[in-house]
């Protein structure tokens, strides 16, 4: 066997052998109810003080976000109305000159 043939064939056979003999496993993570953010079931858990406080905090956050969004929209409307009034005055000025 020639030297070039040995060098070419050898790395391929080593690579093929090591990739096919490596073990591969993947452990699936299993979670029980209530683990790591899973929703709580009904019953006594719904009347829990922590659950009520958490719900109130989430509701407050949502209301604040909606309030901010509404304020931004109102400001945008006011800006657009001011621009519209300015454009109307300009249009009236042009029609009076004609």
Q: Are 84 and 78 in contact (CB under 8 A)?
A: no
pLDDT in tens, 2-26: 555 555 555 555 555 555 555 556 6
Name the DSSP letter for residue 35. S
Q: DSSP letter at 24?
A: -
The structural domains of the chain, with segments of one domain joined by +, span: 55-98
For residues 67-87, average pLDDT: 97
Q: Is the pTM of this model over 0.95?
A: no
Token pair belonging to 44: 């006594």
Per-residue pLDDT at 23: 57
């Amino acid at each position: 066997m020639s030297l070039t043939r040995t060098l070419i064939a050898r790395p391929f056979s080593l690579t093929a052998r090591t990739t096919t003999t490596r073990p591969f496993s993947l452990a699936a993570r299993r979670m029980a109810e209530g683990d790591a953010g899973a929703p709580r079931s009904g019953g006594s858990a719904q009347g829990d003080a922590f659950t009520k406080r958490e719900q109130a905090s989430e509701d407050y956050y949502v209301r604040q976000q909606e309030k901010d969004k509404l304020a931004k929209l109102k400001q945008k409307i006011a800006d657009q109305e001011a621009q519209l009034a300015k454009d109307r005055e300009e249009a009236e000025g042009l029609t009076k000159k004609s």
